Amino acid sequence: MRLTVIGSSPAWPDPGSAQSGYLLEHEEGRLLLDCGPGVLARLREREPWPTVDAIAITHFHLDHWGDLVPWVWGSMYLFGSAQRLPHLFVHSGGRAILEDFGERFGFADMFDRVFTVHEYDGPFVAAGFTVEPHRLPHYSLETYGFRVSGNGATLAYSGDSGPSDALVALARNADLFLCEATLVAPSADGTLRGHLSAEEAVEAFRASGARRLLLTHRPVELALPPGLEQVADGDTFDLG
Ligand SMILES: [Zn+2]
């Protein structure tokens, strides 16, 4: 499988960068993990309109799903008629959340018009990949990390998470652990944890036994300690 970083910015965009979006490709299909602002424009640099088979959303913070809104408009008004509807996976209860946003942004069923919407409540198959959602602590919002397997390789993607044993379990023995590292220090996040410092991401990586750690969702202004890898928009990685 091949991972392409479409967008790697944190909750606000780094200069010239898109927010969360990670494309996984193998012979059986193409799966987009999260779809934050800027991701659609980046995907359109590759082809006139994205032809992904499936999109999976970790949680409903805007920086992880916001570009689904313009995706609807472009699909409805210009590009969608010749395409199969991409499958859109959201957590249990997510369909009602989409309908609620839809009522405010356009039409209650706007997302159903251009995506085949599914709710996940356990492992699911998307674009030929097996995806295990793991519930993670992220303030008080329902949030998941994804453990994605295909072609004998496994990618663990944290989405957004505070430190926890669940994060370690998500990444257990994965080939690649793509982990957020938003914070300069743990204390910056207050009492209700939502994010990780680079040191906390490294702690989770070491405890997990994963083979390689890639840090993301980190402000460009925050330098990393030596020896750590941070992804940038456009980076690609081959697994398996
Ligand atoms: Zn978030």
Residue 15: pLDDT above 70? Answer: yes
Q: How far is the CA of 82 from the centre of ligand 1 (A)?
A: 33
Cβ atoms within 10 Å, residue 40:
22
Note the pLDDT of residue 81. 63
Note the pLDDT of residue 225. 87
Q: How far is the CA of 91 from the centre of ligand 1 (A)?
A: 14
Q: What's the whole-model pTM score?
A: 0.97
Q: How far is the CA of 78 from the centre of ligand 1 (A)?
A: 31
| Structural domains of the chain sorted by starting position, each given as residue range(s) with its CATH number in brackets | 2-238 (3.60.15.10)
The greatest distance separating any two alpha carbons of the chain, rounded to the nearest whole angstrom, comes to 50
Note the pLDDT of residue 221. 94
Burial 59-92 (b: 16+ CB within 10 A, else e): bbbebbbbbbbebbebbeeebbeeeeebbbbbbe
